[in-house]
Structure 1
Amino acid sequence: MTKYDKIFKSQKISEESLSPEEAVAAIAVITAIVDSSVEDLDTESLADILWEFEVFDEYSEEEMLETVDRLVAIVEDEGLGALFNTAHASLTDEIVLDAFAAGVIMLLDDETLTIPKQKQPYIKQLQQALELEDIEAEEIIKEVIAAIEEAEQAEEYADTEQDAVILDEFGQQIYQSPLGNFIVPIPVTTEQGGKIQSQEGIVGFSDDVGTLLRIDYYPLPPEYLETMESQGQETYLHSILIEKYLPQAIFAHVEGAEIKYTEYLQDTLKGYYYVLVDMPKGSTISKQENNGNAIRLDAYRGLLAFINGEFLYIVSSQRTFFSDDIPGSILEEAEDIKQNILEFVETMEFS
Structure 2
Amino acid sequence: MTALLQIEDLKVHFPVRTGRFGGEKALVKAVDGVSLSIDAQETLALVGESGCGKSTLGNAVLGLAPVTEGRVRFDGRDLTTLERAERKAVWRDMQVVFQDPVSALDPRRSIAQSIAEPLEIHGIPRAQIRPRVDELMELVGLNPDQRDRRPGALSGGQRQRVVIARALALNPRLVICDEPVSALDVSIQSQILNLLMRLQRELSLGYLFISHDLSVVRHIADRVAVMYLGMVVEIGRAEEVFGDPVHPYTEALLSAIPRPDPGARRDRVLLQGDLPSPIDPPSGCPFRTRCPLAEPRCAESRPPLVARSDSHSAACFVRAPQG
TM-score by length of 1: 0.24
Greater Rg, structure 1 or structure 2?
Answer: 1
Q: Considering fraction of residues, name the structure with more helix.
A: 1
TM-score by length of 2: 0.26
